[in-house]
Chain A
Amino acid sequence: MKKTALLILLLASITSLVSAQSPFVTKYMSFNTAYLMPAKKWESGIRQPFRIGLSQKTELFSTVLALPLTPNAGIKFAWGEKGSFRFATAHSLSVPSPVMNILSREDIGGFISPEYTFPFILSVNNSVLASGPVCDSALLTFKADFLFAIRGGDIDPQSTIDLPVIYPRMAHYYKGSSVRLSANIKAPVMKKLGVEEGFQLFLITRNENNFFAENTGYLYWKMSKKMLLKAGYNLSYGVYPFGNHWQLWPSLDLLFGTSK
């Protein structure tokens, strides 16, 4: 089963590069690209942020499901085109301390030891995105993120959640800033099917546990006019407090909204 899924992903990645041009990518797969949501259109995923186009040059976004426990919001600006590339910047704020204090509990569900209390943490993320077409139908995006945190006090370095995917994204809450460099390519495969392959580096500005990399691959299946299924994998490598570690995890999301 796993082998079949991987073969499909690989086939899809390669065939996508030679497919005919289609608006599938910019219409249904514009998250994590320099393309914005069109004005008055919105989309959301269960995990992927809610995005709404305010104008042709501005988009608001927030991970809605996390809002009660991790207040978060962001804004994305389109900066026009140069050559064949389109540029955008995104700027967001989040406050993860409430959810971290909730995860710090006794018994089952205690991801963090109850002996730790977290001070106010404000995480700031600024991103630059550039997207341009390749092989007619595919869209190549380069992205650079700079993340830092304003901390209301010291955080115990042993209160980390030492799991792939989670640890690199929380690293800058504890110590240092985080620079993320990524590239992804998205392409249509068939009328109702798209594919994405991505690579991301996490560089944390500190002396240890400071390097992580992820390779992601997703298939987008247009299930109906307003709904897409996004399924794939996340292959990660990193230098964790316990040593170097590889991990492969599945990834699943359901996307819906007016743009669908």
Chain B
Amino acid sequence: MMIRVISPKNILRILAGLSILIFMSSCEPLATGFDDTEDATMYQASSLRQAPQPDSAILVMTWNIRFAIGRSPWFGDACGNNTVFTKEEVMPHLDSIVQAINMTKPDILMLQECDVASQRTAYINDLQYIIDNTYFNYAAYVPEWKAQYIPSDGLGRMDMGQVILSRWSIRDSKRINLVTRGDQSGLVNYFYLHSCIITGKIKIPGFEEFSVLNIHASAFATDDTKKKHYEEFKSMLDKIDAEGGYFLAGGDLNELPPGSDSTDYCFEDMCPGESFHQPGDDPQHKDGSNYTPEITWLQPLYDDYVCAVPLDRYQHNQQAYFTHTTRPGHFWDRTLDYLFTNYRWVENSDITHQYLLKYSDHAPVSAMFVLKKEN
């Protein structure tokens, strides 16, 4: 019997190979950068529930859940002093969100600002909890803000993103990166969130497959970044439309509908010690609160596609469709959340769930989405 002795040279090669393998697999950057298009992370319920067979339409909803901290005074958007929330603080809000979902029972739900592993929310996986405690069978997740450590205000580790939840399986789900904010320094931008769209395709038996697109556009950009986001969003919708497909699109566009009466929220959003609109104030407007120069930026979407809340109806009774406020304890004061399609909504089926005032700083919007029968 021959015994083959491994030479020292080969031992070196093996060790070098192993070391390189470890090196490559462990080298996670401090903040995650994104490619233009990436695959989404897919979730599935531990036990699948029988999905109902719709007649002609399904209930769809969009909701920015504000990482399940309800209306708590977070430092980033509500003049608060708190950055980090405990499990005991987050769980009641998450339970309320689950309760609202189970009560409303959308068939497809688009979420924004969903934390899956962030230090600020005690590393609770909001999405896993929602799947485990609702009737959804499938979900797709893409990160919008992902970093090992954000060395600012104690934010620490961050993994927040957008979600599509569905009773039916989701295929070909992608993360589409939107243009980077042009009004930030390179260092800030490296650790900052990167706006995106999550897409997916859903096939319900008996109906044509449709596309789902869930966007969270920039909230605080002061240049034309938001406009570019809407243009990118619309060009994706245009492409689906041109190819003969139909879509359900929506999310938190962080923009007012054209024709809104009030377009400057600097005073509503002003924190103690801040001053705007006064001579010598720099900046003159609070970041993300002055929509005046942007008021027509959503017009192309309204021109070409069907909003669940028609523009003329909104313009005649704006307060009834407000979905957001930055001020804890105040009623909704502006509309930022939308549902669009290139097909049809069941007429007057839309609901702006303004009664869910304590669940997030955004109200969910739902409507009955008409499905195209398969030929």
Contact = CB atoms under 8 A, between A and B. Distances in A.
Given A108-B151, A110-B151, A242-B117, A6 B16 contact: yes
B153 A110 contact: yes
Contact of B154 (A3, A6, A114, A245): A114
A7 interface: yes
Interface string B77-109: 000011110100000000000000000000000
A242 B157 contact: yes
Given A114-B154, A163-B149, A6 B12 contact: no
- The secondary structure that dominates the A interface is mixed
B152 A108 contact: yes
Contact of B84 (A113, A245, A248): A113
A90 B20 CA distance: 36
A107 B84 contact: no
A7 B23 CA distance: 12
B7 interface: no
Interface residues of A, number: 33
A241 interface: yes
A6 B157 contact: no
Given A14-B12, A159-B84, A247 B154 contact: no
Interface in A243-260: 243, 245-248
B181 to A, nearest CB: 16
A235 B151 contact: no
A115 B156 contact: no
Contacts of B119: 158, 162, 241-242
Interface residues of B, number: 33
Contacts of B375: none
Contacts of A11: 12
Contact of B149 (A159, A162, A246): A162
A150 interface: no
A82 interface: no
Interface string B2-19: 000000100010011001
A134 interface: no
A83 interface: no
A10 B154 contact: no
A243 B12 CA distance: 33
A113 to B, nearest CB: 3
A9 B18 CA distance: 13
A106 B83 CA distance: 10
A104 interface: yes
B204 interface: no
A9 to B, nearest CB: 8
B154 A116 contact: yes
Nearest to A111: B151
Interface of B: 8, 12, 15-16, 19-20, 22-23, 25-28, 75, 81-84, 86, 117, 119, 122-123, 148-149, 151-157, 187-188
